[in-house]
Chain A
């Protein structure tokens, strides 16, 4: 239903640390070594960000968390500073 976690195939090394630390156990290692994990249970994501925080390739953009539409915050935009 949702697509909460997006891996960048070009950056992710398939180390599977995110699989290990996932609070909700929603990730599984890719059967093909070196490739990004599979998001097995996307609608059980808790959006806590453990996978993202502990990703060794985070700074390079290996992993991105996208909150689904109903979770996106409601913003009152101010004037440009």
Chain B
């Protein structure tokens, strides 16, 4: 039966798993040192990852602007650590992102991305808006074709890109990375890679709970990001942190889920949230007073204090307001000037699904931001804080496995690192991986057992007569996560959730008609592993941490910083969970 799966052997120096923003940046940087670099991508690097169809904003410390404000790099770090992460962050990694993203933005410009505008009144001719921090720190730019440009740059530099391969297993030899295995989603072949260094950059863990609209593919972040990196690490016994932070659904543009959430960033300036009577729930935003840049120095500490005291909360608890009988809520740009509306439309057209969304809004709905308002409704659950969960890495982005690096959303510990995290960590991980690979003479010998085992798994699915369709299993897992690791969690129900998941796994024999369906089955296996981590970690964390992660344990309703201001790392060893706490440095 095994003979149906053909094995393709590929040797490379650096293997990059996942060709989103982080993976492409890693490939581009790694190529500079002359080693052989290969990116594997489940879809196509031209369109994959969270920025597959665009990203319009990326926060950075921009010396030529922020120095004039009297706002320092440390202020940005403090703003992010306190306002966004409430102290629950790996500050050294945050520092890497803060320090290096401006340079990465200039690199993007070298790769052909437009980041300067003739009509700009801002130094550098940039377009800069408010996002997370007390000061405007986010570049707005023409990012709609960023992935096309990064793919071109990588190819130009000789980086090998293998699209339509889903990676499922890491190969280790004596605690060191030796390679990885994947399955061709189109050709059904087994790809066996030997590599001297590996960068893991598969993105986020999506599809863990049912979608609120019932449209399977309708998620804010790409629906094919099924936490494959975390699952591969889990299977290899490598620790993963923060998996308990699966958040409750939040409010954003209703039904069509996309990255236009907060009234800051993409819909800045002019966005407000109002209710049915036009009462303001979140006041409209403004452009920074650029003509007066530098005239007044900021008091960053005082601004932070004001923001923390709740006076300027850009994201009120809509769900709670709704339960109190308030709502409906609307994204309201009707107070915007012509210039502001045009700016916002340009911004939306560069962000994620925004380009298609805007076209749909105008041409299919006849919508006009000057006149009409969009209802704000609950979105599907997702892993909270973007890169809050993921691999444990050192300051050089290396995991405890020598030669295995993490990048972008596969790295845990930097909430809301987003695109800046992908640009900077990808670059650094690519550089480190290339150095590591360059110093290693030969590939390590790899065990043939994992290849045989994967062959058996896949051919079993492809020839199964009575196995289940992947959707059936996926929905069972999603329902269990939704119920047992939902808005309220407790010891007994979480324990029951783990039992239920075990039961689902026992019944989950898959049936695949072709390689495409085989990929979906393997994705559901990733989802099962991620779900197990979510439930187990939720059970282990005996406290609540509502802000910023929405984690609530009914049996431990208080936040317990004394015991739990720490990342919870879990790994599997001989079929059992092992937990440890990674301290968070102030």
Contacts and interface: CB of A to CB of B under 8 A. Distances in A.
Interface of A: 2, 20-25, 40-41, 43-50, 52-54, 65-68, 70-81
12 contacts: A22-B44, A25-B43, A45-B217, A46-B224, A47-B356, A49-B359, A52-B356, A53-B355, A53-B356, A73-B253, A73-B254, A78-B368
A21 to B, nearest CB: 4
Contact of A21 (B47, B365, B377): B47
A48 B50 CA distance: 10
Contacts of A73: 253-256, 361, 365, 367, 374-375
B455 interface: no
Contacts of B357: 49
Interface in B264-320: 276
B360 A21 contact: no
B217 A78 contact: no
B52 interface: yes
A76 B369 CA distance: 11
B356 A65 contact: yes
A78 B353 contact: no
A24 to B, nearest CB: 6
A43 B216 contact: yes
Dominant SS among interface residues on chain B: loop
B522 to A, nearest CB: 13
A58 to B, nearest CB: 9
Nearest to A49: B356
B368 A81 contact: yes
Contacts of B217: 24, 43-47
Interface residues of B, number: 53
Contacts of B355: 49, 53
Nearest to A41: B516
B128 to A, nearest CB: 26
Contacts of B256: 47, 67, 71-73
Contacts of A80: 371
B52 A48 contact: yes
A75 B214 contact: no
The 9 closest A-B pairs by CB, nearest first: A49-B356, A50-B47, A74-B375, A78-B371, A46-B217, A76-B373, A21-B47, A70-B213, A23-B43
B536 interface: no
Interface in B372-390: 372-375, 377
Interface of B: 43-44, 46-48, 52-53, 144-145, 148, 164, 185-186, 213-219, 222-224, 253-256, 276, 328, 330, 334, 352-353, 355-357, 359-361, 364-365, 367-368, 370-375, 377, 516, 519-520
B254 to A, nearest CB: 5
Contact of B374 (A2, A66, A70, A75): A75
Contacts of B53: 48-50, 53
Contact of A25 (B185, B216, B370, B373): B185
Given A73-B361, A77-B372, A50 B52 contact: yes
Contacts of B367: 73, 75
A76 to B, nearest CB: 4
Contacts of B334: 78
Contacts of A46: 217-219, 222-224
B501 to A, nearest CB: 24
B455 to A, nearest CB: 22
B372 A25 contact: no
Contacts of A41: 516
Nearest to B363: A64
Nearest to A77: B372
A60 to B, nearest CB: 14
Nearest to A2: B215
Given A65-B356, A80-B371, A54 B46 contact: yes
Given A48-B47, A53-B144, A76 B375 contact: yes
Contacts of A72: 255-256, 365
Contact of B43 (A22, A74, A75, A76): A22
B215 A24 contact: no
Contacts of B330: 76
Contacts of B48: 23
A80 B368 CA distance: 10
Given A23-B47, A53-B355, 19 more contacts: A20-B46, A21-B46, A23-B48, A43-B216, A47-B215, A48-B52, A48-B53, A49-B53, A50-B52, A53-B53, A67-B256, A72-B255, A73-B254, A73-B375, A74-B374, A76-B328, A76-B372, A78-B334, A81-B368
Contacts of B164: 25
Contacts of A44: 216-217, 520
Contacts of A53: 53, 144-145, 355-356
A73 B256 CA distance: 6
Contact of B356 (A20, A22, A43, A48): A48
Nearest to A52: B356
Contacts of A76: 276, 328, 330, 372-375
Contacts of A81: 368, 370-371
Max chain A C-beta neighbours (<10 A), residue from B148, B223, B367: B223
Contacts of A25: 43, 164, 185-186, 516, 519
A53 B330 CA distance: 28
Nearest to B364: A66
